[in-house]
Amino acid sequence: MDDAARIVIVGASVAGLTTAETLRAEGFAGSITLIGDETHAPYSRPPLSKHVLTGEWTPEQADLSDPIELAALNLTLIQGARATSLDIRGHTVTVGGEAISYDTLVIATGVAARRMAGTEGLAGVYSLRTLDDVVALRKELATAKRVVVIGAGVLGSEIAAATRKRGLEVALIGRTSELRLGQVGSHLSPLIAALHRENGVDLRLGFDVTEVIGEDHVSAIVLSDGTVIPADVVVAAIGSLPATEWVSDSGLELSDGIVCDSNGLAAPDVYAIGDVARWRDDLTAASTRAEHHLKATEQAQAVARLLVTGEESPAVVPFFWSELYGTKIQAYGRFPAVVPLTTIASEPGGARFVAASVQDGQVLGVVGWNMPRDFRLARADMVAAAEKPQSTQPELVGSETGSQHA
């Protein structure tokens, strides 16, 4: 990339900011324009449903960088502005009616929370994706007593845990009969359910919410079996939608996200990274889209390096972490639903363990439950084994996890 090159990044969150940082770290001296529709300085989302929601952290503690670091990047930061269209042939994006030209475009617009249908205009119904969301929710929780959280995914579980920590009465509703945890799927569902129950959450799995009741402000929800659960606040963690409407008529291939090759290339001089992007995995020939903070970081670094040095980066292996009631859960790799987990390290009683997904003698993924160091060692073994495909995998001695810890 020559020094006159103009790189435009749309989406100023972890993927967008990391792209700019890595471009500079790799020595790119051209112009960088970072465009984001939020008005806050770029921040990290994982703490929002953990330390910020509980009140342990101020919103500012979630900032991704401080003003000095940001200034040192020497970029044009356009905040509170939404890109509305992309012209691939003309090499421009439209922001606030104005066309901005690029030599290379990096799209990092992430996903938006799916809203509860039929609750428009009803106060007290929230989703949790942005800093504004968590600030508004925190304010309302300060006077609320009863909270209903909807969603059997990890975000629903985290919100339930954080609101319990605030001392509120919490009901957690899931449409599926099992609780899911990122790429680990429902393998740990019995353990997570037990955690919620031990901590006093009214857990209701296998129910739809058929009605949200309230005049101006929500007062209760109704489950598919007719049960009415009173609620001062409802938080819906019911999934997300890739933020692609602004490129819908650009000619980019869209299929639950922006379809890319294994380096993030979506169209000539257009890359997509992070939650919005669906990268091809050359190993499995499948294309995947995952919503993981570290994946967004690594894809940003990979694209920035490719642009500056021309070097391709190795495929990103999914890594995810969560924290529920102080239990640290970490997962690396893949966990097919049909492969039961095998315990590879544990403490008596099963309060801490590391388990693996093993298929045909190959470790596909490792997950740690409150055992961060052993998890890291297992992960390092897995990485080492993957780097030496000809060598045999370490022998795994273990038992199936689900039943033992359930």
Partner 1 sequence: MQITVNTPACVGAGQCVMAAGELFDQDDDGIVMLLEDSPDAAQQAGARRAASLCPARAIKIAE
Positions in the binding site for ligand FAD (CB under 6 A): 10-16, 35-38, 45-46, 48-49, 82-83, 108-111, 128-129, 155, 243, 246, 274-275, 291-294, 296, 320-322
Helix (H, G, I), strand (E, B) or coil at 237: coil
Asked if residue 54 binds partner 1 (CB under 8 A), the reply is no
**CB under 8 A: which stretch of 26-34, 59-67, 83-91, 190-198 binds partner 1?**
59-67
If the CB atoms of residues 14 and 378 are measured against ligand FAD, the closer one turns out to be: 14
Q: List, in sequence order, every residue forming a beta bridge with 43; answer none if it has no partner.
A: 63
Shortest spacing between CB 25 and ligand FAD, in angstroms: 18
* Cβ–Cβ < 8 Å for 369, 353: yes
* Cβ–Cβ < 8 Å for 301, 294: no
If the CB atoms of residues 24 and 82 are measured against ligand FAD, the closer one turns out to be: 82
- Per the listing, tokens 């040192």 go with 72
Looking at residue 204, its amino acid is: R
**CB under 8 A: which stretch of 14-22, 113-121, 126-134, 147-155 binds partner 1?**
14-22
Candidates 211, 209, 231, 236; CA nearest to 220 is 231
Residues of span 324-343 touching partner 1 by CB under 8 A = 328, 330
Cα–Cα distances (Å) from 117 to 120, 172, 209, in that order, read 7, 18, 11
Shortest spacing between CB 25 and partner 1, in angstroms: 7
- Show the tokens assigned to 69: 């670091």
Q: DSSP strand E in 194-284: where?
A: 202-205, 209-214, 218-223, 228-230, 233-236, 240-242, 258-260, 265-267, 270-272, 277-280
**CB under 8 A: which stretch of 20-28, 122-130, 246-254, 357-365 binds partner 1?**
20-28
Shortest spacing between CB 294 and partner 1, in angstroms: 5
Helix (H, G, I), strand (E, B) or coil at 202: strand
CA distance 132 to 121: 17
CA distance 276 to 257: 5
Cα–Cα distances (Å) from 361 to 140, 334, 375, 390, 392, in that order, read 51, 14, 19, 13, 9
Sole binder of partner 1 in the list 13, 293, 341, 363 (CB under 8 A): 293
Looking at residue 230, its amino acid is: P
User: Among ligand FAD, partner 1, none, what binds residue 75 when CB lies within 5 to 8 Å by partner kind?
Assistant: none
User: Among ligand FAD, partner 1, none, what binds residue 15 when CB lies within 5 to 8 Å by partner kind?
Assistant: ligand FAD
User: Among ligand FAD, partner 1, none, what binds residue 128 when CB lies within 5 to 8 Å by partner kind?
Assistant: ligand FAD
If the CB atoms of residues 112 and 294 are measured against partner 1, the closer one turns out to be: 294
Instruction: Tell me the CA end-to-end span of the chain in Å, nearest whole number.
Output: 55
Sole binder of partner 1 in the list 7, 8, 10, 22 (CB under 8 A): 22
Sole binder of partner 1 in the list 112, 168, 294, 339 (CB under 8 A): 294
Residues of span 340-399 touching partner 1 by CB under 8 A = 372-373, 375-376, 379-380, 383
CA distance 49 to 379: 26
Shortest spacing between CB 177 and ligand FAD, in angstroms: 24
CA distance 321 to 154: 10
Cα–Cα distances (Å) from 1 to 48, 362, 406, in that order, read 37, 40, 55
Q: List, in sequence order, every residue forming a beta bridge with 329; answer none if it has no partner.
A: 322, 369
CA distance 365 to 339: 11
Sole binder of partner 1 in the list 46, 110, 153, 274 (CB under 8 A): 46
Shortest spacing between CB 350 and ligand FAD, in angstroms: 23
Please count the residues of this chain forming the interface with partner 1, following the rule CB under 8 A.
26
Asked if residue 309 binds partner 1 (CB under 8 A), the reply is no
User: Among partner 1, ligand FAD, none, what binds residue 37 when CB lies within 5 to 8 Å by partner kind?
Assistant: ligand FAD
Contacts to partner 1 by CB under 8 A: 18, 21-22, 25, 44, 46, 61, 64-65, 293-294, 297-298, 301, 319, 321, 323, 328, 330, 372-373, 375-376, 379-380, 383
